[in-house]
């Protein structure tokens, strides 16, 4: 994998605990070791990427770092029998963009076992319009299904509904025939038309979502996909129906959780965690196939209002951390 041809990447460096970012010209000799070289078509902006670029939290474990927790593209060279030149692939998680160089680069050197071949009917653009956020939304839906939460059982609440994970969760649930309630933060009522177009049928909000609930509140939700954590998750737990299930994947409102055992012991509620980063490869393949089938292309277009370039990333990162991004942002590496 030797070539002097240069390509562009966003590189994070750290000096005196301060993170800086710049678009740099690299050659493949600068890339870390991997058995597959990928020409990256697209990446996306996830909440974690925003934190990494903005230098918030401890997302990046090694410097210098090419951030970007996901990518899709075409195999250029492969030392692995699993892939050959020309194969289309998608990569999410496995700590790329955190511990290993990620997707904000025109070429990436990666491990073959991290890759998933594109499912039938999807191209590299669609897979990154979905990205880690959409993949995680699908894992959350599969988690509810595993708990027996079918559309006929009752309403599913999605928190952080206008964000990346939330928007795609609403769209998948809607297309599967679930009744979907969307929780949006105060001041986000302007997102209701957008969420209704994706499949939300009911909207929830109000000052009580910033306060701790009583141990048990009126039962409202058979299922819930929670991307917010903290007091929001406390209230969701207290409002769950008998034998309901919550799939929690996020902490947009905080990582704390105050609750009681009451929802568990009196209502048989289950709280299941969802992790996309270390998700086993077989489950990944199933989730990507499900996304090809259960996420309508029209919804995906509505969720991804625009594609941005490497140079747009710093401003977009500040926006997503401040909660100013609706839906998803696709990163076009050839823009
Ligand atoms: P986004 O920023 O796109 O969406 C987060 C949404 O949460 C916002 O749009 C907003 O929605 C809501 N929100 C933000 N801050 C608050 C707050 N203080 N209180 C209540 N609601 C708030 O992020 P993503 O959708 O990409 O990610 C969502 C969460 O899921 C993040 O915590 C992320 O780290 C996590 N995640 C976890 C993964 C895993 O593998 N476990 C994978 C991917 C993401 P609204 O305006 O509708 O209220």
Question: Ligand 1 centroid vs 45 CA: distance in angstroms?
Answer: 12
**What would the CATH number be for the domain defined by 131-273?**
3.40.50.720
What stretches of 35-186 adopt beta strand conformation (E)?
36-45, 70-78, 88-92, 107-110, 116-117, 156-159, 180-183
Name the residue of 91, 141, 160 whose CB sits within 8 Å of the most ligand 1 atoms, as the mutation to test its pocket.
160
Give CATH 3.40.50.720 domain extents, the chain.
131-273
Residue pair 179/246 in contact by the 8 Å Cβ criterion: no
**Per-residue pLDDT for the chain (335 aa), expressed as one digit of tens each?**
556 799 999 999 999 888 899 999 999 999 999 999 999 999 999 999 999 999 988 899 899 999 999 999 999 999 999 999 999 999 999 999 999 999 999 999 999 999 999 999 999 999 999 999 999 999 999 999 999 999 999 999 999 999 999 999 999 999 999 999 999 988 888 999 999 999 999 999 999 999 999 999 999 999 999 999 999 999 999 999 999 999 999 999 999 999 999 999 999 999 999 999 999 999 999 999 999 999 999 999 999 878 999 999 999 999 999 988 888 999 999 99
Q: Which fold has domain 7-118+301-332?
A: Quinone Oxidoreductase; Chain A, domain 1 (3.90.180)
CA of 34 to the centre of ligand 1 (A): 31
Q: How far is the CA of 15 from the centre of ligand 1 (A)?
A: 29
pTM for the full predicted model: 0.96
For ligand 1, residues with CB inside 6 Å are 46-48, 132-133, 136, 160-166, 184-185, 188, 227-228, 232, 249-253, 274-277, 320, 323, 325
Q: 194 C-alpha to center of ligand 1: Å?
A: 17
| Comma-separated ranges of CATH 3.90.180.10 domains in the chain | 7-118+301-332
Could you please report the per-residue DSSP string of 25-38?
A: EE-GGGSPP-SEEE
Distance CA 74, CA 213 (A): 50
């Amino acid at each position: 994998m030797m070539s002097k041809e240069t390509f562009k990447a966003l590189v994070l460096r750290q000096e005196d605990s301060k993170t800086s970012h710049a678009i740099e010209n690299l050659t493949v000799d600068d890339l870390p070791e991997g058995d597959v070289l990928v020409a990256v078509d697209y990446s996306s902006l996830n909440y974690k990427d925003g934190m990494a670029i903005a230098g918030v939290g401890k997302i990046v474990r090694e410097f210098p770092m090419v951030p970007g927790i996901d990518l899709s593209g075409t195999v250029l060279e492969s030392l692995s029998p699993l892939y050959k030149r020309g194969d289309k692939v998608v990569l999410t998680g496995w700590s790329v963009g955190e511990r290993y160089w990620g997707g904000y680069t025109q070429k990436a050197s990666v491990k073959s076992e991290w890759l998933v071949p594109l499912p039938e009917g999807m191209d590299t653009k669609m897979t990154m319009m979905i990205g880690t956020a959409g993949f995680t939304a699908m894992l959350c839906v599969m988690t509810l299904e595993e708990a027996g939460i079918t559309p006929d059982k009752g309403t599913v609440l999605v928190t952080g509904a206008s964000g990346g994970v939330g928007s795609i969760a609403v769209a998948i649930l809607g297309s599967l025939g679930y009744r979907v309630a969307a929780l949006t933060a105060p001041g986000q009522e302007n997102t209701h038309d957008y969420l209704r177009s994706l499949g939300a049928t009911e909207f929830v909000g109000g000052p009580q979502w910033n306060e701790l609930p009583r141990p048990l509140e009126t039962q409202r939700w058979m299922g819930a996909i929670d991307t917010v954590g903290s007091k929001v998750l406390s209230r969701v737990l207290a409002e769950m129906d008998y034998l309901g299930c919550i799939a929690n994947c996020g902490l947009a409102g905080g990582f704390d959780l105050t609750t009681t055992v009451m929802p568990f012991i009196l209502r048989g509620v289950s709280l299941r965690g969802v992790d996309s980063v270390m998700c086993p490869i077989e489950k990944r393949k199933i989730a990507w196939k499900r996304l090809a089938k259960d996420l309508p292309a029209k919804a995906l277009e509505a969720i991804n209002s625009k594609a941005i370039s490497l140079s747009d990333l710093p401003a977009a990162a500040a926006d997503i951390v401040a909660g100013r991004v609706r839906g998803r942002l696709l990163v076009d590496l050839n823009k």
